[in-house]
Amino acid sequence: MSRAAVLCGLGGALPTTAVSNEELAGQLDTSDQWIRTRTGIRSRHVVAPGEATSDLAVAAGADALASARRTAPVADVDLVVLATSTPDRPCPATAPDVAHRLGLGPVPAFDVAAVCTGFVYALATASSMITAGVSERALVIGADTFSTILDPVDRTTRAIFGDGAGAVVLRAGEADEPGALLGFDLGSDGSGADLITVRAGGSRQRSTGGPADAGDHFFTMDGRPVFTQAVLNMSRSSQELMERVGWTPADLDKVVAHQANIRILHAVGEQLGLEEKQIVANLDRVGNTVAASIPLALRDAAADGELLPGHRVVLTGFGGGLTWGSAALVWPDLAAG
């Protein structure tokens, strides 16, 4: 049998403060009704002043490690991959600090930046390092705090994005075990780089000289084209991956897609010929948590009994870059965090 990375732990963390649509409507020209009907979101969590991405990543990582220990005795992880587009600082990466604070010793630790696709990219990276024999056990975290980069007066992005972190533990195992990552489909299209962006703070703004406009430090998104591209690419990527792993849409039990908008989830479900109950959704409670979105949706679906051992599951993400990616696995018997 061939060596594979097997999912054996799952966890997550949210900041304490939840912000309801009504609260947002008290600050901005928006309404609970608009946000609910256009996005499906009711509430999102935001970090407190001074609370950083690493704080959520450490909490989610500890939760996933505890879940892995309850599922089966596991040795320490020897790799940490953190997907984030809101690192604690531009340099260095946030992952080494997270590994250190989790007491994991001198393990390799690095960040992956693919915005909302970050978790799938990180999962593919860690899985490949395990199948190549470079690592035996990996902690893969998706964590973002987009509330720290949103324009306070932009009602669209403030309605959608929330902060959070989700994490999984992978161990070396066999491809025919439940939990084995069976394949990936990954892609990008840099011609859409301006659709989801923070203009300032990188080498481009610095090299062209002059101070950046204040607004250039905020996150911006061109919602309509992003919506269309999200549906197109998550559907296509899921379909291509299913063909590669030998599944027909009828074989699929659940799709866990990036939680950006309930209308996007329904459109992807329609493209894949799925019923609504097959589409995992927790965005009503957490909003779009970027790299944390898929692992937090997994955690909530496992806790709610929606994801059951033996389910054939496709994870699919889409985000800035543009980037997209999907992963397939048979859901294992996990003790969730």
Locate 20 and state its tokens. Answer: 């309801």
Active site residue 91: no
Segment contacting ligand UT7 by CB under 6 A, of 31-39, 96-104, 129-137, 165-173: 31-39
Q: Which stretch binds ligand UT7 (CB under 6 A): 72-80, 182-190, 223-231, 304-312?
A: 223-231
Nearer to ligand UT7, 54 or 288 (CB): 288
Nearest CB to ligand UT7, comparing residues 167 and 230: 230
Residue nearest to ligand UT7 (CB): 223
Residues between 82 and 141 that touch ligand UT7 (CB under 6 A): 116
- Based on the shown chain and the rule CB under 6 A, indicate whether residue 156 belongs to the binding site for ligand UT7: yes
Q: Is 38 one of the binding residues for ligand UT7 (CB under 6 A)?
A: yes
ω into residue 108 within 30 of 0, thus cis? Answer: no
Does 319 help bind ligand UT7 (rule: CB under 6 A)? yes
Answer yes or no whether residue 34 interacts with ligand UT7 by CB under 6 A.
yes
From candidates 159, 167, 252, 255, binder to ligand UT7 by CB under 6 A: 159
Q: Which is nearer to ligand UT7, 162 or 183 (CB)?
A: 162
- Does 77 bind ligand UT7 (CB under 6 A)? Our answer is no
Is residue 323 a contact residue for ligand UT7 (CB under 6 A)? no
Q: Which of 8, 45, 258, 261 is catalytic?
A: 258
Segment contacting ligand UT7 (CB under 6 A): 105-113, 144-152, 241-249, 257-265? 257-265
By CB under 6 A, residue 315 contacts ligand UT7: no
Phi/psi for 13 (5° steps) reads -155, 140
Binding segment toward ligand UT7, per CB under 6 A, in 32-40, 232-240, 272-280, 329-337: 32-40
Q: Which is nearer to ligand UT7, 155 or 236 (CB)?
A: 155
The answer to whether residue 116 is catalytic is yes
**Cβ(203)–Cβ(209) under 8 Å?**
no
Contact status: 296 vs ligand UT7 (CB under 6 A): no
Three-state SS string over the chain comes to CCEEEEEEEEEEECCCEEEEHHHHHCCCCCCHHHHHHHHCCCEEEECCCCCCHHHHHHHHHHHHHHHHHHHCCCCCCCEEEEECCCCCCCCCCCHHHHHHHCCCCCCCEEEECCHHHHHHHHHHHHHHHHHCCCCCEEEEEEEECHHHCCCCCCHHHHHHECCEEEEEEEEEEECCCCCEEEEEEEEECHHHHHHEEECCCCHHHHHCCCCCCHHHHCEEECHHHHHHHHHHHHHHHHHHHHHHHCCCHHHCCEEEECCCCHHHHHHHHHHCCCCHHHECCCHHHHCECHHHHHHHHHHHHHHCCCCCCCCEEEEEEEECCCEEEEEEEECCCCCCC
The residue from 21, 116, 233, 261 that is catalytic is 116
Positions annotated as catalytic residues are 116, 258, 288
Residues at the contact surface with ligand UT7, assessed by CB under 6 A: 30, 34-35, 38-39, 116, 155-156, 159-160, 223-224, 226-227, 230, 260-261, 264, 288, 318-319
